[in-house]
């Protein structure tokens, strides 16, 4: 095949109009809407439901944490999904929130992450199956998890061994964003020391979290990602209730020592987390899921498929050659 020469830059003599392609794309995308799937992982009562409702400023999932000591712990990690359509300035976002109540609640938490990992892989597998069907749908309904919010208990000491195991497993299949839950229960000094500790543990165990390094980033994007990496894990406070501070009603919590304004950067890092998830990295979380996590799953599956089919092919050929092989008898070959 002849090589195609490098294109030469030409000047136009008049207005052609292909600069409208961005608005054509926008129109199509707007019609279709967007899909964002998030999973929350962490012990019951750490404020998972509350945080989701705080981020998206709507009551999307019920807060039904174990609020009293008499209430029994859940026995298994049951996966529950709720789906909502939210809209902002004409942009429609379909939000799937996957709740994993029961994770880490047991005395023996061995393998409690398995249903979560399985759920994430199952979504990849369902997507791959739909992609491989002959009559492929034009738009495959995407249930792949774009972001996993991992809730760290505000103990102020260190990550639990189970957390390290689970973080490692999760980070291999999904974009993980860890948060220090209910950080209002720690003083500023405790928070800083805890964060420091967590960071060094993550480094020590070689746990690679989102956002990942990439050659495609420009200087601004790289600087933003560096700031985010420094902030991670986000020390957050969630609240669905409003409190009045200086005559203004804000989302916050009132405790024995005073009032916390969830959206005040001096009080906690909620705003950093929300901006990261919704204002700067929403599209990148979706893209990274497809290009890194799903791609890894897909190539592994397809390679395995190829291997089994070539083995089957070999076996078939062997069987055929055994049956077809001319048998040499005393009177010459017998077929
Ligand atoms: P989940 O079981 O992890 O979903 O936890 P919930 O969202 O149901 O919250 C359990 C309890 O913790 C509720 O009473 C919440 O009001 C409370 N809570 C949620 N977030 C925070 C927080 O950031 N700080 C404090 N102090 N309490 C919180
Ligand atoms: Mg909950």
Q: What is the DSSP string of 136-201?
A: --SS-------EEEEEEP--SS---HHHHHHHHHHHTTS-EEEEETTGGGS-HHHHHHHHHHHHHH
Longest dimension (CA), the chain: 110
Question: Among all chains, which residue has been given the structure tokens 């398995």?
Answer: 114
- Of 29-43, 62-76, 310-324, the range with the highest mean pLDDT is 29-43
For the chain, helix, strand, coil in percent to 5 are 40, 20, 40
Q: Could you tell me which of 206, 141, 128, 198 has the C-alpha nearest to residue 172?
A: 206
Lowest pLDDT segment from 25-29, 34-38, 66-70, 118-122: 66-70
Q: Is residue 100 within 6 Å of ligand 1 at its C-beta?
A: no
Query: Whose CA is closest to atom 9 on ligand 1?
Result: 47
Which is the closest atom of ligand 1 to the Cα of 46?
3
Sheet holding 91-99, edge to edge: 80-88, 91-99, 34-41, 147-152, 176-180, 234-235
User: Whole-prediction pTM value?
Assistant: 0.87
Helix (H) or strand (E) segment spanning residue 274:
helix 270-274
Q: Which domains does the chain have, with CATH numbers?
A: 31-61+74-307 (3.40.50.300)
CA of 46 relative to ligand 2 center, distance in Å: 8
Q: What is the DSSP string of 280-314?
A: ISHHHHHHHIIIIIIHHHHHHHHHHHHHHHHHHHH
Q: Is residue 74 within 6 Å of ligand 1 at its C-beta?
A: no
Lowest pLDDT segment from 39-53, 56-70, 138-152, 211-225: 56-70
Residue 170 has pLDDT above 80, yes or no: yes
Q: Six-digit token pair at 266?
A: 């001096």
- Crossing angle, helix 114-132 and helix 295-324, to 10 degrees? 70
Taking the CA atoms of 143, 282, 96 and 24 in sequence, report the sign of the dihedral they define: negative
- pLDDT tens digits along 237-281: 999 999 988 888 999 998 877 889 999 998 899 999 999 999 999
Name the residues around ion ligand 2, CB cutoff 5 A: 48-49
- pLDDT tens digits along 188-207: 999 999 999 999 999 999 99
Q: For residue 239, which phi and psi values (nearest 5 degrees)?
A: -165, 140
Q: What letter does residue 106 receive in the DSSP assignment? A: S
């Amino acid at each position: 095949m002849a090589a195609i020469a490098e294109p030469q830059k030409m000047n136009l003599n008049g207005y052609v109009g292909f600069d409208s392609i961005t608005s054509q794309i926008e129109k199509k995308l707007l019609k279709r809407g967007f899909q964002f799937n998030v999973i929350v992982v962490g012990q019951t009562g750490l404020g998972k439901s509350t945080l989701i409702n705080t981020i998206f400023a709507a009551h999307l999932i019920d807060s039904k944490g174990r609020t009293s000591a008499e209430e029994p712990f859940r026995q298994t990690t049951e996966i529950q999904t709720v789906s909502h359509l939210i809209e902002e300035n004409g942009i429609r976002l379909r939000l799937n929130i996957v709740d994993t109540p029961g994770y880490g609640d047991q005395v023996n938490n061995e393998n409690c992450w398995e249903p979560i990992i399985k759920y994430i892989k199952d979504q990849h597998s369902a997507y791959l199956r739909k992609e491989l069907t002959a009559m492929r749908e034009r738009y495959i309904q995407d249930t792949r998890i774009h972001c996993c919010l991992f809730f760290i208990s505000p103990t102020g000491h260190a990550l639990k061994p189970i957390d390290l195991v689970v973080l490692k497993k999760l980070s291999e299949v999904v974009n993980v964003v860890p948060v220090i839950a209910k950080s209002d229960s720690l003083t500023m000094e405790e928070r800083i020391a805890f964060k420091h500790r967590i960071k060094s543990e993550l480094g020590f165990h070689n746990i690679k979290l989102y956002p990942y390094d990439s050659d495609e980033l420009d200087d601004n994007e790289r600087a933003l990602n560096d700031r985010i990496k420094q902030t991670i894990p986000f020390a957050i406070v969630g609240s669905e209730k409003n409190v009045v501070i200086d005559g203004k009603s804000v989302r916050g919590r009132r405790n024995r020592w005073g009032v916390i304004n969830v959206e005040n950067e001096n009080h906690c890092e909620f705003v950093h987390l929300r901006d990261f998830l919704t204002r700067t990295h929403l599209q990148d979380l979706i893209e990274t899921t497809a290009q890194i996590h799903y791609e890894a799953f897909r190539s592994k599956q397809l390679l395995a498929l190829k291997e089994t089919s070539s083995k089957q092919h070999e076996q078939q050929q062997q069987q055929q050659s055994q049956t077809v092989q001319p048998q040499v008898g005393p009177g010459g070959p017998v077929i």
